[in-house]
Amino acid sequence: MSEPGPVALVGVGLMGASLGLALRERTDVETVIGVDPDHATLAQARRRGAVTDSAPLCDAVAGAGCVVLAAPVTTLPALAAEVLAASGDTTLVTDLGSTKTRLMGAVGGHARRRFIGGHPVCGGEHSGPGAARADLFVGATWFLTPGEEARADLYERLHRLVGAVGAHPTAIGAEVHDHLMAVVSHLPHMLAAALVNHAADSAPEGREALRSAGPSFRDLTRVAGSNPELWADILLDNRAAVLDASSGLRRGLEAVEASLTRGDRGALVDVLARGRAANARLRAPLDPATPSAVLSVVVPDRPGALSAIATALGHAHINIEDLSLRPGPPGGVGVVRLVVAGESAAEQARVVLAARGFELDAPTDVEELG
Amino acid sequence: MSEPGPVALVGVGLMGASLGLALRERTDVETVIGVDPDHATLAQARRRGAVTDSAPLCDAVAGAGCVVLAAPVTTLPALAAEVLAASGDTTLVTDLGSTKTRLMGAVGGHARRRFIGGHPVCGGEHSGPGAARADLFVGATWFLTPGEEARADLYERLHRLVGAVGAHPTAIGAEVHDHLMAVVSHLPHMLAAALVNHAADSAPEGREALRSAGPSFRDLTRVAGSNPELWADILLDNRAAVLDASSGLRRGLEAVEASLTRGDRGALVDVLARGRAANARLRAPLDPATPSAVLSVVVPDRPGALSAIATALGHAHINIEDLSLRPGPPGGVGVVRLVVAGESAAEQARVVLAARGFELDAPTDVEELG
């Protein structure tokens, strides 16, 4: 891919530095400018080759084609405002934060055309640029939360950049994102801490429970090794959804306890069997490669139309493998060419888009693919 | 090690067949007789080389030096009674079950001299002899629950057998064992099912939460893939301790929710930081190899004296690397030579044993080690 101008990484810890390595190894981005308040972190990111240059924030973002905010969630609203003010009209600004609603709400006015939220669902046990890996994003879902005003060309640019580092870009509404993450990420982090603390506090007849933990317990509590300050802020930022998920889980646990109390083996087997089935769905190998299918959709001449198309497909779990804008008739209307995995996904996409009033262009000849 | 007579494995699923492979690869046990009600399972175990022979239960155990019950927990009390009745006076009988209190209570009378409960803390994602591995037990804690009447020579034999397949034999009281396992194994299994079911049932605006799960969620729910029937029985068998652990965890979770509700960042950071510290203790690398230390303890002439010594040290987290009985003065009193990791562990062991009224023999010359 050809990136217009340098990429600026604001924050070069594990995530930022990994993105720097990935951009330098997997794309033709030549200049990656690192920004970080911590000089040692920045120096380490340079030594690792994660950034080619470093600069103060304003200088770094002024000429950048894309600015990625890779900083703690609490800092993002102010940082986004600062970066959007200091960067030019063609600069895309995005972030890697674990929560999206508050940030998307904080970006105001004209800046909403250039800001598209992002969240790659991946991470590592260790923090800092020393733990950075160019393949950190390979195979990961990378959520994108374009607002209604997001510019189509900038969305296309971000989609390609995310795909180029090996992730699957998936458009989603910010609030839906935060509810999903409360269930599959934020609650599990909170739960792992509660579980390992419970074991650490348990010592029947003075024998410490934690010293008898086997491999399965270690699997369950691995994420308890995450940074406490960062995670306290993530939980607070998504408080309502996390509380909702936590009380839902507690009710589920109480139901299992009730089955256990009344010795209801059938109910216990049922809950464990449902868990096993869900677990199997979670680990199911991806479908064998199906020939890609292409569909072309007319993008109406209004802000956010491409975002709406991508979000509708993301919501329907249709993975967009590639996305490219083509000029349309005069008046600013374009056509977006979407590549999806297989003809049945394409058919499902046509139904979803037609239901939302989008006009499908004449079917593209499959020969054209490549 | 030299095993007196064949080993009979009653049940040749994942655990039984893995033990068969381990015995054949890592010890000089020559004959491993498999018993299993399922002919296909037994045939597969033979093909894998996990057993050298197969026989009906009574024939298999009649001449065995050691019988290992590797069957579901619900079947163990009746199976233990049957095997103890059908085997000779020198046959050691043990099991691999995940719960111990009910089983130890069920073995009665004279048979308590020959039955020593066991529980290797390990397992695999897949069941059956096809998934068996000779190294399954390497590095695992293997709990032993000798009753007060257990014969010293049989305890010594089992300790050596467990060590020979690569595990760490650790004596423990049956009830303490079950409380520990409720906290670090049974509750986590129940919780993993509740968590994955909660995610499977969550679909904000129709978007399935399970389809957005990342690697950390998969870590937490891996054990939800366990066999529902077997695990329902384990939970029921250890019901009181599991209920206690579950309500303890729920209270911990409610406390985190309360901090979150009132926006108490300090309290959240504290709970996450405690979790991170406990997590680090759980994953701390073992101490670098220290020179082994030896101590010799006089074994009084009463049943269960060696079990009491081993259990006292197990309870104090002192790992017995090797244990051998030596004849003592006439009257049946012997001396047990214990090898532990390092002089400070030996000193701690001396204090623990002296406090329980055991007499330490003259210090053994370290030169003797080998």
In the predicted structure, residue B218 carries a pLDDT above the cut 70 = yes
CA distance B170 to chain A (A): 10
Domain co-membership, A168 together with A186: no
pLDDT (average), residues B178-191: 96
My answer on whether B27 and B140 are in the same domain is yes
A78 and A137 housed in the same domain: yes
pLDDT at B9 over 90: yes
Q: By percentage, how much of chain B surpasses pLDDT 70?
A: 94
Cα–Cα distance between A235 and A246 in angstroms, integer?
A: 11
Q: In this complex, do A275 and B184 lie within 8 Å of one another by their Cβ atoms? A: no
The model's pLDDT over A3-48, given as tens digits with 9 standing for 90+, comes to 578 999 999 999 999 999 999 999 999 999 999 999 999 999 999 9
- Statement to judge: residues A95 and A229 lie in one domain: no
With respect to residue B205, please indicate whether it lies within any of the assigned structural domains. Answer: yes
pLDDT band per the 50, 70, 90 thresholds, residue B1: very low
pLDDT in tens, B101-145: 999 999 988 899 999 999 999 887 788 999 999 999 999 999 999
State the pLDDT at residue B5: 86
The residue among B184 and B125 whose pLDDT is bigger is: B184
Task: Tell me the percentage of chain B whose pLDDT exceeds 90.
Answer: 71
pLDDT tens-digit map of A230-267 = 999 999 999 999 999 999 999 999 999 999 999 999 99
Q: B362: buried, middle or exposed (CB in 10 Å: 19+, 13-18, 0-12)? A: exposed
Q: Does residue B369 lie in a domain region?
A: no
Is A196's CB within 8 Å of B282's CB?
yes
Domain boundary among A147, A172, A197: A172
**CB distance A27 to A3 below 8 Å:** yes
Q: Name which of B350, B345, B292, B291 is nearest B318 in CA terms.
A: B345
Domain-embedded: residue B2: no
pLDDT tens by residue, B240-285: 999 999 999 999 999 999 999 999 999 999 999 999 999 999 888 7
Residue B288 included in any domain = no
Mean pLDDT for the stretch of residues B187-202? 96
Facing residue for B191 by CB, picked from A195, A229, A232:
A195
- Distance CA(B141)–CA(B180), nearest Å, equals 13
> What is the domain range of residue B268?
178-283
Q: Which of B227, B262, B283 is the last residue of a domain?
A: B283
Task: Give the pLDDT score at A270.
Answer: 98
Residues B73 and B94 in one domain: yes
Banded pLDDT at B366 (limits 50, 70, 90): very low
Residues A228 and A247 in one domain: yes
For the residues B71-96, what does the mean pLDDT come to?
96
Using the Cβ of B67 and the Cβ atoms of chain A, whether some distance falls under 8 Å is answered with no
Instruction: Please tell me whether residues B71 and B168 are part of one structural domain.
Output: yes
Beta-ladder partners of B299: B334
Instruction: Write the pLDDT tens digit of every residue in B275-326.
Output: 999 999 988 876 666 788 999 998 887 778 888 999 999 888 888 988 888 8
Is the CA virtual torsion A350, A354, A356, A362 positive or negative?
positive
The verdict on a CB contact (< 8 Å) between B200 and A268 is no
Convert B150-167 to b/e letters by CB count within 10 Å (16 or more is b): bbbebbbbbbbbbbbbbb
In a domain, B368, yes or no: no
- Comparing A2 with A336, the larger pLDDT belongs to A336
Residue A35 lies in a domain: yes
Residue B233 forms contact with A (CB below 8 Å)? yes
In this complex, which of B212, B253, B278 lies closest to A184 when CB atoms are compared?
A: B212
How does pLDDT run across A275-319, given as a tens digit for each residue? Answer: 999 999 988 876 666 788 999 998 887 778 888 999 999 888 888
pLDDT of residue A4: 73
Domain assignment present for residue A1? The answer is no
Report the gap between the CA of A341 and the closest CA in chain B (Å).
Answer: 16
Kindly list the residues from chain B whose CB atom is less than 8 angstroms away from the CB atom of residue A221: 275, 278-279, 282
How would you write A299-324 as a 3-class SS string?
A: ECCCCCHHHHHHHHHHHCCCCEEEEE
The total of structural domains in chain B comes to 3
Q: How large is the average pLDDT for residues B85-93?
A: 95
One domain for residues B166 and B182 = no
Task: Kindly report, residue by residue over A123-160, the tens digit of the pLDDT.
Answer: 877 889 999 999 999 999 999 999 989 999 999 999 99
Q: Chain B within 8 Å of A235 (Cβ-Cβ)?
A: yes
Beta carbons of B256 and A193 less than 8 Å apart: yes
Cβ neighbours, 10 Å, residue B272: 26
**CB contacts < 8 A (A, B):** 319
Together in a domain, A268 and A302: no
Specify whether the CB–CB gap between A296 and A362 falls below 8 A. Answer: yes
Q: Residue A65: give its domain's CATH number.
A: 3.40.50.720
Q: What is the pLDDT of residues A160-192, one digit of tens each?
A: 999 999 999 999 999 999 999 999 999 999 999
3-state secondary structure of A139: coil
Chain A hits for B180, Cβ within 8 Å: 202, 204, 207, 209, 212
Q: What is the pLDDT of residues B324-354, one digit of tens each?
A: 888 776 656 788 999 998 888 999 999 999 9
Question: Which of residues A252, A283, A314 is at a domain's end?
Answer: A283
pTM strictly above 0.90: no
* CATH code (residue A249): 1.10.3660.10
Provide the mean pLDDT of chain B: 91
Which chain B residues in 247-266 lie under 8 Å from chain A, judged by CB atoms?
A: 247-250, 252-254, 256-257, 260-261, 263, 265
- The pLDDT score that the predictor gives to residue A368 is 44
- Look at the block and give the residue holding tokens 């340079």: A46
* One domain, residues A63 and A211: no
CA distance linking residue B251 with residue B254, whole number of Å: 5
Examine residue B145 and state whether it is found in any structural domain, yes or no: yes
End-to-end CA distance of chain A: 15
* Closest in B173, B222, B252 to A194, CB measured: B252
Does B333 lie in the same domain as B253?
no
B22 and B109 belong to one structural domain: yes
Q: In CATH, what number is assigned to the domain containing residue A332?
A: 3.30.70.260
What is the per-residue pLDDT across A320-370, written as a single tens digit (0 to 9) for each? 988 888 877 665 678 899 999 888 899 999 999 999 999 888 655 444 443
